[in-house]
Structure 1
Amino acid sequence: MSGWNPPPPQGGPVPYGAPGAPPMGPPYLPPRRRSRAGCVIGVLAGGVVGVLLLCAAVYGVYLVRTDHELSTPAVAGGTTRDTAAEGRMDETVRKLRSVITRGSGYKIYDFVSAVYGSGDSRFLFVGGTGEHGNGGVVDAFNLALQEELNLGQSTVRITSSTTKISDPGGDGMAMCSHITATSATGGSTTTSDAQLCAWSTRTTLAVIMPIRGGSQRQVPSEYEGMGLQDRMRHIRADVED
């Protein structure tokens, strides 16, 4: 009979589609490749976290190393504290405290002061503690000097020039100011000059200023005749921790 296909021999393979043949299985597909996108994202995320942790650790070290306090020990920078001379410095201390307050953007809140002497030299130390930073402190300090020192003056005009110095004697920065007072009385003009140096850290701002006279004659030390910048650095080493 036309179109008739004889059954396959017993035990032979049965073609797909023939009666009694097993169903056709799914088509063959090549194995899927594992995506590495998750691994890449994981590595990147892990790297970012690592960088953040490192930055946090470095910043923590920075905060510890720049967190300072001020004190007034009996000896600082090779000079001895002169408590008798301190009693005559109340007005000057008040002025310098106001300068520091303004120069720090009103962020200094805890003040200390002392007079240190060696031989005939005396140095007034005034400093304050507070987290204020160092941004623009040179200009702010110079402006504060002029504003505070001219307050209440009618016949005296005070000008100042403040410049940053290269070696602060520790972290932070330092500056020195030249102050000129000009007075006009009876048709004549007289001028007088003064100097001071200051250092500023993240948490402190302090001034060292030469003053005249002391309570008693002291034996000159090896630091006698030292320049003001060096004097500031040596005193700072003992009054700041």
Structure 2
Amino acid sequence: MMELLDSAIESAVSLQIGDPSRWNEGLLSTIDVLHVVHATDLQGLSILPQLRSLILVGCEIATISSLPFLERLGSLEIEDSSLESLDGVGKFSLHTLGVRRNFLQEISPVTRIENLEQLDVTGNPLNVEAVRVALPELRARGVHVKSSSEMEISLMRRMHASGLPFSYYRSSMGYQLSRPGLALTANPEGDHPFVQPEELESLIARSPDEVAALFEDEDRLWPPQT
């Protein structure tokens, strides 16, 4: 079983309970919070039956259905990853779901999470139904929802239509681009160039290649390259 464990998951677990050669069911059951960076295979998480909070950053995962059932999981955050589908999210009894800066267009599976209290879908190219139907429905239920503005979503849709799989979001410092997942960068959670909406709109219309080139402009990047 351990031989098949994703190296990123193994590293995250080792930080908490030490060398894998000493792992046993008792030790693994002490882990209720896990922060994983750059995983590509989530099946190994099934060894953590007491997991209540899971944070996945910069992972190469297309769908939540690839995540094994974790009975106690209540908080799930997937950031700067290649997530395209929320199918299967209803198998978890989540109160908190954060999916910032992914590739999500459709979010209707979230409306079937009965006890959801908080949802963050910032930085996703949501479709019209998600923006006009699903999000209002969730807010009407009392769910605290965070999402991108319609202007940001429109620019993301245009980028994706032009073959640019990027996210666009407003941070506390300004508007930034990101490259979710591991297909285009080894550091999807960093190196996010600043670009104003008007400039981005012009670049998309004029030359999509110039949008991609923004990631090579060190003067625009935050966090800075190391």
Higher relative contact order (CA 8 A, sep 6+): 1
More strand by share: 1
The TM-score with structure 2 as length reference comes to 0.21
Q: If the length of structure 1 is used for normalisation, what is the TM-score?
A: 0.20
Report the structure number with the largest CA radius of gyration: 1
